Chains A and B, each alone.
Chain A
Amino acid sequence: MINRRNILHGLAAGVSSAFLPNFASAAPSIKSGGGPKRVIFFMQNQGFDPRTCIPAGMKNSGSLAGIKLPEPISALEPFKERLQIINGLHGKHTSPSHSAFFGALGGYRGSDGVRPSASTIDYELSKVLPETLLPHLCVGMDSMENMKGKPTVANLSASGAGQPIFMHSNPNHLYEMLYGGISQGDIRSQHEARSGMFDRIEEMAAARGKTLPTADKQRFSQYVQGFNDINGLRGRLGKVSDHLRKFAPKVDDRYTNPEFETDWHDVNLDLGISALKSGITNVLTIGSGRGEIFGAWKGLGVEKQGHNLGHIDQPDNPIWIKIRQYNSRMLVKLMEELESVPEGSGTMMDKTLIVYTSNNADKQHTNGANWPVMLLGNCDGIFKSGCLTQLDGKRPINALYATILETVGVNSGRFNMSEQMAAKFDSGTGSLKEILA
């Protein structure tokens, strides 16, 4: 089914909207009166071993106050009061093995080469959060070769069954898409060439749609409208270029001449942050390792790359400590940047939820029996924070997603889980009360 939102999502994993957003400081409040206004999903590949985030000796739910966070996430120490570690969700039904792919955010069976069987939580949230120019942005981080060779891949997010959403990995392309209108030099030329071509395609398509029979005209108009949206987005971004200029990252050597892949990881994060701060998007999905079993972090001094990393037991392993610390620094940067922008009586971070987990449960070869998650940001006290929440391993990740949706006023039932499946995979019903304040 095609609807306006789907069309909007067209534009490279979700570009565009029909109107200018009110921007961060004046984004419309959600009807439910609570819940996050923006959500970030950070998906590290190869699993998230709970021992890399749960303080040693902590077995049960309890406060993190006065307890030292493990080394891999020690960067989060100053933000501990905003952190909730959730241990004991499961994703057995998603068949993670190497990666659950779309199933990680969809809560259904996923595997290499298996198309999404329904929409994913990030897309669903993008539909209901305050509207933005670009409802949903996905960025992916991988080895330099993969990011250059395949700058867009779709492994994690989907707008419906069989409808993957692509993530961007080449920051030059992404920058051109978001900020081409305010750029200079080659990026500007590319932007103009592309815009000119799109205008022309739209013009030609529109002309050839005029004589169609009524029913086809309607269908074809959706096609033409797609170009209109793409061109419209460029136009709208152009119209608010003064505003965007304030948030656009500075293009430096890391974009055009990166030393390591982590240079591109960093600038992709910067672009994601800028899109949130400028109000271009309210949902950001970060795929570190792009949902697959590869990935590289040579810039951290990690020489091993790809699949082998997954075979390493994560706790106390120097490589995984480095990668998780890098993730944690990225989370800190996200929080600090969002904290720097006033919103209402507080800051953007007050109404932001960050969901950090893996597309692969707790480790590389896993049956998904434990799927650890960290939430950052309590969204004005809706979510518990400063604590570990230990669950019994009988509720699926779908319950977490349904709970997040509930906080923004959407009842999604069990979120992509039928009653038949729930009879086997979910011991409870309704929201995950344990994680709510």
Chain B
Amino acid sequence: MKRLTRVLTVAVLAGLGAASLSADTYTPGEPVRGKFENLAKEFLDYHCFDCHDGETQKGDLNLLDLGPVDETNAAVWKSVWAQVSLQEMPPKKKDRPEVIKRLRFADWIVSELQRVMEDKGGFHAHLDPKKGNFLDHNLLFGPLPDGIKLAPASSPARIWRVTPQEHITRLNELINTEPQFDPKKPGLRTRGDVVPTNHGGELKLYFGTDRIIKWQGGTVAYATSVKSIPVVLSSARKHGFENYPDFYTVNSAEATQILSKAEDILRYMAYGPLSIAKPEQITDDPKTYAPEGDLRGLPTAITYSTKIVRPMTPVHELMKNPGVADKGLRAAVDYLFEALTFRPPGKTESDDYLEIVKDSIDKVGKENGVFLGLSSIFLDRDALFRPELVETSKPDKDGRVMLQDWELGLAVNHALRYLKPDAELRQAIADGRMRTRADVEREVTRMLADDRIRKPRILRFFKDYFDHDLGGYICKDDKALATTGVASRGNSHYRAMFDAAASTDRLIELILEKDKGVLKELLTTQQVVATRADNSYFGRKRTSEERSAAQVAKKKAEAELAKKVAVDLKPIVAELAEIETQLKNLKGDPESRKILKELTDQKKKLVAAKKKIEGNKKGNQNNVNIAVAEAKLTGLKIYSRVSHRSFGNGSMKPERTLVTAPEGQRLGILTHPSWLVSHSDAMDNHAIHRGIWIRERLLGGGIPDVPITVDAMLPDEPQMPLRERMRVTREDYCWTCHKKMDPLGLPFEMYNHAGLFRTTELNEPVDTSGEIIDSGDPQLDGPVKNALEMIQKLSKSKRVEQVFVRHAFRFWMGRNETLNDAPALQDAHKAYRDGGGSMNALIASLVTSEAFLYRTVEE
């Protein structure tokens, strides 16, 4: 009866000519405007009030009194938008709205939220990459219902703030000369690869470390002594895509620091280590510099070689020559401008900065004025933001403008690189050969085919996609870490994790080099890039019985060794006693000097031999980790890209081996400790995060935000398995969402929270079962016995491949896909498939798509 009344009301409203959601056609991107009463209320009435009115209030939600979108109910409307977009509501068993009606309703909510929140921080949730999957996958890759009319694709005209990695690479180019690519050692970091984080996971730029030949003190002292600057631009996101254009600006804290650090950089460009050290510290014979006292941690603790290795630039020339001539000043200005913005300055720009420098020199003299004045270029808009504004061309009939010349050239360059355009691309831009899709294809194909041209942006995509590089930042509880079986003292675990991230990076690169079935390979490879520590991390946590047995074996081995030592020592001890007696007897005898010397020498040798044998008493047993059955990882020696020397003995080492994972225990990156620990917490595994990752990044599903009323805490029961503690998420109210994540994350319980394979948990057989529920591909749905089975299933799925393509689209376009991008996504997926799972083909397709090439300028 209640329903009938409402239907009648709506019929009356419709009869009166009110706007409705049930329009015949729908063009994505076109605003849906209308009043709540005659647009949204109809939808709520048909599809929501049955369960969410004053009488029923399912989930404690009464939508009857919701009313038009306003500041006070924005959170509820956001939740309605999420539920409807994800097709969680109305539930499957109820009448569901037509596709167009649903899309129009969701669009209406978004535009209303944007309107009412405009002066209250705005509404941006739909632009967040985590909400990208709110757009129905089947609409993007399946047939569209009648009435949906797609508009030509494009992206908005915009500026992108450069990323922290890009920024620090630009600065690094000014002061450090990096090695060129060596095809014989393809894994070593070379010019154009990203400036890596140091052993503490910190992105920092170091001055002159390639000239340091001596220093005082250990790692910490060395680190403190070396001049460095930390990354200044912030990056607030920890997970997923970090760099949509609308995420960041440059705040004044950052601007002030950039300016201050610019002066340090400029001085180093001019004077090299002399800008940070005393003349006597620069010598090829460190013995000549022997300062007194304890200098650890001080800049004076370092000796630099005399060999000049930094790039020699017009800044050096300017300061080397006396006086200030316009020519030298302009050369320095133009050089810096292009080094920092990646394009040559226009005449006005060059004049403006020249004037600033001259003005500074007038005020404070050459020395300070040059550095102060030139530092202003570091704050040029285009040194911090990359423009895609298409200001010089006219829009086509659809309101789109194709990127041209420098904007297009830099967009293509940015798609792959952190360095400025190479000579060929620069020439192409200058010659007017960066204006068409064919131009882009030519340059992208050229760059993708050339290994010497480093392309760290591709690796960045995989870092953002997999989130496998967060393990070193997960603060582990010491005791909880100790129970995993890995070394938990000091920083060894964190360093192992930063090493592991570099190893996984290298594995990804190796798979990209082959460029065949890339996603499938990443998900199922048996290859592992390993360090020595990985013998533990890729090992198996022993069961309690095995640990006891190992302990017994260790003691036995120690005892046997002790026995052997005793046997070995016996003749030495006897001989020593004999010598002692002889020495005693000969003492004071002037004629026996020669014999005395011989005996003394022999005694020394015997004492040394005794010491050595005694030292071996425990043999290698001290290093035996009884908690872990270590993997015996041996294989080809290779390299991973780790830091430029930053911390002396504490620097990360590039040496790695390419090995095969222990059989039946691992399958692809998701089973590597780097990924597993990145998705763990201080005390245990994080099955929920792992499940969310699978749901979002492989299945293309979305999860609404946690309702603010939910106290998202698992019970603190250290003696209970995680699966048992997660019982709270299986309560009806929670399970609606948690069924999308928990059963996908729990199969990874076959590993502990340091990433070691295990068969037991708390001395009971570990339960690794899970289930794929409502994946969107019925063939995938169903129970799985462990992570390996689940990954095998997923790796064969076409849908998973398409979801991967969606993520690549987001990364390279810097925005979420819309329905208008469906053709580009389908083309990209086809290119990937036709290329046999080729990442290069996928990238080339995306970068030559209309979404990449065209910009829409708002009216």
- Which residues does A use to contact B, with CB under 8 Å? 1-2, 6-13, 15-16, 95, 98, 108-109, 111-115, 143, 145-146, 149-150, 152, 154, 159-166, 186, 189-190, 192-194, 196-197, 200-201, 204-205, 208-209, 211-216, 219-220, 222-223, 225-227, 229-230, 292-294, 303-308, 419-421, 423-424
Q: Are A230 and B364 in contact (CB under 8 A)?
A: no
Residue of B with least CB distance to A6: B251
Contact at B381–A200, with CB atoms within 8 Å? no
| Closest residue of A by beta carbon distance from B379 | A201
Tell me whether A294 and B296 are in contact in the complex, defined as CB-CB below 8 angstroms, given that A113-B202, A164-B230 are known contacts. Answer: yes
Most buried by B among A9, A197, A303: A197
Residues in B180-238 with C-beta less than 8 Å from chain A: 198-202, 204, 217, 220-221, 223-224, 227, 230, 234-236
A93 to chain B, nearest CB (A): 8
CA distance A149 to B300 in the complex (A): 10
Cβ-defined contact, B200 with A113, below 8 A? yes
Q: A216-B159, A421-B682 are in contact. List 17 more A-B contacts (CB 8 A).
A: A10-B251, A146-B299, A154-B230, A160-B236, A161-B236, A196-B359, A196-B360, A200-B356, A220-B381, A222-B249, A223-B249, A226-B255, A292-B297, A293-B297, A294-B224, A306-B298, A419-B713
**Does B363 lie within 8 Å of A146, measured CB to CB?**
no
Select one of A114, A160, A215, A306 contacting B202, CB under 8 A. A114
User: In the complex the two chains form, is A211's CB within 8 Å of B257's CB?
Assistant: no
A162 to B242, CA, bound (A): 14
Residues of A within 8 Å of B230, CB to CB, are 154, 164
Please state if B716 and A423 are interface contacts (CB–CB under 8 Å).
yes
Among B220, B254, B381, B682, contact of A112 (Cβ-Cβ < 8 Å): B220
Contacts A114-B202, A197-B360; is A219 near B299 (CB within 8 Å)? no
Cα(A219)–Cα(B299), bound, Å:
39
Do residues A149 and B227 form an inter-chain contact, with CB atoms below 8 A? yes
Write out, one digit per residue, whether chain B residues 354-373 have a CB within 8 A of any chain A CB (1) or not (0): 00100110011000110011
Bound CA–CA A12/B201 (angstroms): 25
- A178 to B: closest C-beta gap in Å: 14
Taking a contact as CB atoms closer than 8 A, the residue among B246, B255, B683, B716 that contacts A219 in the complex is B246
**In the assembled complex, which residues on chain A have CB atoms less than 8 Å from the CB atom of B477?**
424
Contact B356 A146, beta carbon cutoff 8 Å? no
B297 touches A193 (CB 8 A): no
Known: A304-B294, A419-B713. A7 touches B252 (CB 8 A): yes
- Determine the distance from Cα of A420 to Cα of B711 in the docked complex, in whole angstroms: 12
> Cβ of A214 and Cβ of B200 under 8 Å apart?
no
Given A114-B201, A200-B376, are A208 and B381 also a contact pair (CB < 8 Å)? yes
Q: Does B689 count as interface, using CB distance less than 8 angstroms?
A: no
B631 within 8 A of A: no
B residues 124-158 with Cβ under 8 Å of A? 156-158
Q: How many whole Å from A187's CB to the nearest CB in chain B?
A: 11
Known: A162-B235, A223-B249, A307-B217. A12 touches B297 (CB 8 A): no
B260 beta carbon closer than 8 Å to chain A: yes
Residues of chain B within 8 A of A114, CB atoms compared: 200-202, 473
Closest residue of chain B to A15 (Cβ to Cβ) is B256
Tally of contact residues, B, Cβ under 8 A: 72
B257 and A306 within 8 A (CB):
no
**CB within 8 A of A152: which of B260, B295, B369?**
B260
Whether B858 lies near A213 (C-beta < 8 A) is yes
Can you give 13 contacting A-B residue pairs, CB < 8 Å? A7-B251, A12-B260, A114-B200, A146-B297, A160-B236, A211-B389, A213-B857, A223-B250, A229-B252, A294-B221, A294-B298, A304-B294, A307-B294
- A308→B368 contact, CB < 8 A: no
Interface residues of B in 242-278 (CB under 8 A from A): 245-246, 248-257, 260, 276
B385 at the interface (CB under 8 A from A): yes
Instruction: Collect the chain A residues with CB atoms within 8 Å of residue B681's CB.
Output: 420
Closest-CB distance, B814 to chain A (whole angstroms): 12
- A-B pairs, 4 with minimum CB distance: A113-B200, A226-B252, A10-B252, A10-B253
* A151 to B233 CA separation, bound complex (whole angstroms): 20
Query: Is B200 a contact of A111 with CB atoms below 8 Å?
Result: yes
Whether A226 pairs with B201 at a CB distance below 8 angstroms is no
Nearest CB on B from A360, distance (A): 13
* A193-B221 in contact (CB<8A): no
Q: Which of A15, A214, A419, A420 has the most CB of B within 10 A?
A: A420
Given contacts A109-B475, A292-B224, contact A1 B252 (CB under 8 A): no
* Residues of B in contact with A (beta carbons under 8 Å apart): 156-159, 198-202, 204, 217, 220-221, 223-224, 227, 230, 234-236, 245-246, 248-257, 260, 276, 293-300, 352, 356, 359-360, 363-364, 368-369, 372-373, 375-376, 379-381, 384-385, 389, 391, 473, 475, 477, 491, 681-683, 713, 716, 857-858
For residue B369, which residues in chain A have a CB less than 8 angstroms away from its CB?
Answer: 193
Asked whether, in the complex, the Cβ of A189 is within 8 Å of the Cβ of B363, the reply is yes
Query: Could you say which residues of chain B place their CB within 8 Å of the CB of A294?
Result: 221, 224, 296-298
Question: A98-B220, A213-B158 are known contacts. Are A159 and B713 too (CB-CB below 8 A)?
Answer: no
Query: Which of A109, A192, A226 is in CB contact (< 8 Å) with B250?
Result: A226
B377 to chain A, nearest CB (A): 10
B223:A11 contact, CB within 8 angstroms = no
Contact yes or no, B159 A220, CB < 8 A? yes
**Alpha-carbon separation in the docked complex, A189 to B359 (Å):** 12
Q: Are A308 and B227 in contact (CB under 8 A)?
A: no
| Contact status A113-B224, CB under 8 Å | no
Q: A113-B200, A114-B200, A226-B255 are in contact. Are A193 and B276 (CB under 8 A)?
A: no
Q: How far is the CA of A204 from the CA of B377 in the complex (A)?
A: 11
- Asked if A190 contacts B364 (CB within 8 A), the reply is yes
Q: Report the bound CA distance from A186 to B491 in whole Å.
A: 47
| A197 and B356 within 8 A (CB) | yes
A contact residues around B352 at 8 Å (CB): 200, 204
Residues on A with C-beta less than 8 A from B356 are 197, 200
Which residues of the partner chain A approach B252 to less than 8 Å between Cβ atoms? 7-8, 10-11, 16, 225-227, 229-230
Q: Which residues on B sit within 8 Å (CB–CB) of A161?
A: 236
In the bound complex, residues from chain A placing their C-beta under 8 Å from that of B376 are 197, 200-201
Chain A residues with Cβ below 8 Å from B256 are: 10-12, 15, 226, 230
User: How far apart sit A16 and B683, CA to CA, in the bound complex (Å)?
Assistant: 42
Q: What is the minimal beta-carbon distance from B288 to any residue of chain A, in angstroms?
A: 20
Question: Complex formed: what's the CA distance from A226 to B682 in Å?
Answer: 38
Residues of A within 8 A of B199 (CB): 113
CA distance A10 to B251 in the complex (A): 6
Complex interface: chain A residues within 8 A of B250 (CB): 223, 226
Which B residues touch A209, using CB under 8 A? Answer: 381
- Does B296 lie within 8 Å of A189, measured CB to CB? no
A164's nearest neighbour on chain B, judged by CB, is: B230
How far is the CB of A240 from the nearest CB of chain B, in Å? 20
CA distance A223 to B253 in the complex (A): 10
Question: How many whole Å from B692's CB to the nearest CB in chain A?
Answer: 18
Which residues of chain B are near A165, meaning CB under 8 Å? Answer: 253
Closest CB of chain A to B362's CB: distance in Å?
8
A128→B3 CA distance, assembly (Å): 52
B300, A197: Cβ atoms under 8 Å? no
- Contact A143 B220, beta carbon cutoff 8 Å: no
* CB <8 Å contact, B298 and A143: yes
Once the chains bind, are B257 and A166 in contact (CB under 8 Å)?
Answer: yes
- Of chain B, the residue at the smallest CB distance from A145 is B298
Q: Are A211 and B716 in contact (CB under 8 A)?
A: no
Q: Are A163 and B713 in contact (CB under 8 A)?
A: no
* Chain A residue contacts of B384, Cβ below 8 A: 223
Chain B positions within 8 Å of A193 at CB level: 359-360, 363-364, 368-369, 372
Specify which chain B residues have a CB less than 8 angstroms from the CB of A95 in the assembled complex. Answer: 475
**Given known A154-B230, A164-B230, A294-B296, contact A9–B253 (CB-CB < 8 A):** yes
* Cα of A108 to Cα of B474 in the assembled complex, Å: 12
B157/A213 in contact, CB under 8 A: yes
Find chain A residues with CB under 8 A from B300 CB. Answer: 145
A307–B225 Cα distance when bound, in Å, is 12
Find chain B residues with CB under 8 A from A7 CB. 251-253
Closest B residue, CB atoms, query A13: B253
User: Most chain-A Cβ atoms within 10 A of its Cβ — which of B352, B375, B379, B713?
Assistant: B379
| A residues less than 8 Å from B236 (CB atoms) | 1, 160-162
